[in-house]
Amino acid sequence: MRLPKASYGGISRWLAQLIVIFGLGASYAVPYFAVSVKEAYENREWIKTGLAAYEIDEWKHENIAMHLAVRWRNQGFKPPHAAIWVGNGFDPEEAGKWNNGGFAPYEAILWRDNGFTPDEAAAWKANGFYYSEANLWKANNVSPADAGIRKKKGEWPK
């Protein structure tokens, strides 16, 4: 015995299946397209700054604002490295000076908290001093180079 042909309100079975397939495809494509358009719109301003498309997502991932990302990049930082300095309370220009002097963020904090500028700290560090030793010599008005010579002779500040 044959079953009667299914009826879907006047449309054939294949048309109903086509509508379901189209609906499923649209339910995936529309949100994907909307997100792509939104990201392209947001990235338009980022691209104007000269950042490469691949960099933009990295800066966003580190939660660094566009205007700051440009400053950090101009100081030679990549997003993960910049995020460490940001987390330690440094602005891009100051961090760039400390980083160029060979200091990690935790070292820079110690030197800065003891009254040293990046250039002073680099000179003391180049002569083999830690911030605590350098503080003693600096308090006695001894230059980093002279203090280095005296230290090698076994002298210590009074």
Exposed/middle/buried for residue 151 (C-beta within 10 Å: 0-12, 13-18, 19+): middle
Report the chain's mean pLDDT, rounded to a whole number.
89
Instruction: Determine the average pLDDT of the residues in 123-134.
Output: 92
Per-domain boundaries in the chain:
1-48
> Tell me, what's the pLDDT at 30?
83
Per-residue 3-state assignment (H helix, E strand, C coil) for the chain: CCCCCCCECCECHHHHHHHHHHHHHHHHHHHHHHHHHHHHHHHHHHHHCCCCHHHHHHHHHCCCCHHHHHHHHHCCCCHHHHHHHHHCCCCHHHHHHHHHCCCCHHHHHHHHHCCCCHHHHHHHHHCCCCHHHHHHHHHCCCCHHHHHHHHHCCCCCC
109: CB partners within 8 A, 6+ apart? 88, 89
> Tell me, what's the pLDDT at 33?
82
Q: Whole-angstrom Cα distance, residue 58 to residue 42?
A: 14
Lowest mean pLDDT among 7-11, 37-41, 69-73: 7-11
> Tell me, what's the pLDDT at 7?
54
Q: Examine the pLDDT at 86 and tell me if it is beyond 60.
A: yes
Q: Are 75 and 95 in contact (CB under 8 A)?
A: yes
Look at 8 and 133; give whichever has higher pLDDT: 133
| Owner of token pair 């449309």 | 11
Q: Are 71 and 93 in contact (CB under 8 A)?
A: yes
Instruction: Determine the average pLDDT of the residues in 4-21.
Output: 76
